[in-house]
Amino acid sequence: MLAFDDLAVPRAQSATARRLFGEYLRFITRRLLGLRRVGHELDAAIEFVEGQLGEQPGLVLSVLRRPNVSALVRWIEPGADPAWQRELAALLWLELALCGELPPREVALECPAVLCALGAHQAYATPGKLVIGPAGVRSTCTAIDAYHPIAEGLVLATRDNNPLSTHEAHPDKQGSRVNLGDEPVEGWVAAFRAALGIVRRHFPEIADEMAIGVSQIVPVGTRIDRHESASYAEVVGTIYASLHPDPLVLAEALIHEHSHGKLNALWALTPLLTDAAGAFESPLRPDPRPLGGVLLAAHALVPMAELHRRLRAAQDPRALTASALRRGDALATQARSATRTLLDHARPSAPAQALLEELQRWCESC
C-alpha cells in the first residue's frame, strides 16, 4: 500500500520519494506498453522498448523518466493525433540511441517542427531527416542548444514539448509558454542555482528528493508585479517558473512545485480523496476549489513554511527581514487553514489519511 508518513516533510535518509517515483515510473512503463493499440505509428518503437526492458531495464527506465518522454506517454490516448504518436516514436528511438541502444535496422523518423531531446541536451529543428540504425544517429536537422545545466540532472529548458503548456486552470494566468523575458540564460541559471543552494543548505532532505523527481525548469517570463510557478499533473519532473530577484522566493517555488510533483505522482497511482460536494476556500487560489486542490495547497504549504522555520532557526538573514518574517508567518497560517479544511471535510483513502495525519502533526508542532 502506497501510504507514506513523510510525504510533505521527508525525514533524513528517507526512501519515500525514491519509492514513490519508482512506482510512478513503472506506471509510465505500463502505460507506454499499452499504447500499442493506438496505432502503427508507435508499434515498432514500443516493441523495441519492450525488448530492451528485458536486457537493460535501468537504461530504459532512465529514458522513460525524462518528462519530454513521459508527458507524451500520459498525453496520448487511443485515436490520438498521429503527429503525437510520431513525436513519441521519434523520442523513444532517439533517447535510447543516445544511451547506446541502437536498433538492428535503420529507422527513418518523421519529426515535429522541434524535437526536444533532453538526453542530448539539444532540440532538433526540422525540416530535416533523422535516421537511427546500427551505425548510430544521422541527422540533417538543425541542432538547438536548448538545455542549460543548473545542477547534476537538472537543466533550464528553453524548448518544451508539453502538450498542456498552453492550458491554464488558474484564473489569473495564461499558460506556461517558454519565455526568457529580458534576462539571458546565464542569469536564469545563476538565479536557480542560488535558490537550489538555499534548499540544499537548509532543507537537504527536499534537495535529495528533487535530484530524483525534478529534471527541468522551464522559464516563463520576468514579471515585476508577482512571481509565478506552475506544474502539470501529467508532466511530473518539470517545473515552470518566472524569474525573481530574491532567491528565497525561487527556493519556495522549487519546493512548492516539487511537492505538487510528488502528490501528482501518487495521485496517478492510487485514489486519494472522495471529494465532498461543492468547493472550498484555498489559500493559494482566489477561486473556490475542490478538496483535491486544497490538498495540493496544504501539501505544498507545509514544506514551504518549514523552510522558513529552518532559516529562522539558523538565523539566516534572508528570513529575518520584515517582509520575510511576514511571509513565513503567512505560509504557516495558510498551511494550518488548508489542513483544517481537509480534516473537517475530506474522505481520504489510506494513502491520503497518512498524509493528513502528517500535515496535522506538523501544524500542531510548529
Domain count, the chain: 2
3-state DSSP assignment of residue 341: helix
Instruction: Say which residue the cell 473537517 belongs to.
Output: 344
Neighbouring C-alpha atoms within 13 Å toward the C-beta of 282:
21
Q: Are residues 122 and 135 in the same domain?
A: yes
Beta-carbon neighbour count of residue 167 at 10 Å? 10
> E strands of the chain, at which residues?
107-109, 114-117, 122-125, 130-133, 136-139, 142-144, 147-151, 154-157, 216-219, 229-230, 238-241
Q: Are residues 153 and 137 in the same domain?
A: no
Q: Are residues 109 and 156 in the same domain?
A: no
Q: Are residues 174 and 99 in the same domain?
A: no
CA 233 to chain centroid, in Å, comes to 8
Q: Which of 124, 144, 164 is the last residue of a domain?
A: 144
For residue 58, what are the contacts with CB-CB under 8 A and spacing of at least 6?
none
Is 4 among the domain residues?
no
Q: Are residues 231 and 320 in the same domain?
A: yes
Instruction: Say which residue the cell 494550518 belongs to.
Output: 336
Burial class (CB in 10 A: 0-12, 13-18, 19+), 13: exposed
Is 9 among the domain residues?
no
Q: What is the pLDDT of residue 170?
A: 46
Sign of CA dihedral 283, 341, 18, 28: negative
Beta-carbon neighbour count of residue 215 at 10 Å? 22
Instruction: Say which residue the cell 529562522 belongs to.
Output: 312
Q: Are residues 158 and 31 in the same domain?
A: no
Domain that holds residue 185: 149-365
Peptide bond into 247 cis (omega under 30): no
Q: Are residues 54 and 202 in the same domain?
A: no
Q: Are strands 238-241 and 229-230 parallel, antiparallel or unpaired?
A: antiparallel
Q: Are residues 206 and 258 in the same domain?
A: yes
User: What is the pTM (predicted TM-score) of this model?
Assistant: 0.93
Q: Are residues 187 and 136 in the same domain?
A: no
d(CA 43, CA 278): 43
Q: Are residues 259 and 312 in the same domain?
A: yes
Q: Are residues 139 and 158 in the same domain?
A: no
Q: What cell numbers appear for 184 in the block?
A: 539571458
Q: What is the pLDDT of residue 171?
A: 47
| Dihedral of the alpha carbons of 206, 6, 170, 243, in degrees to the nearest 10 | -10
Residues of the chain below pLDDT 50:
168, 170-171
For the chain, what percent of residues have pLDDT higher than 90? 80
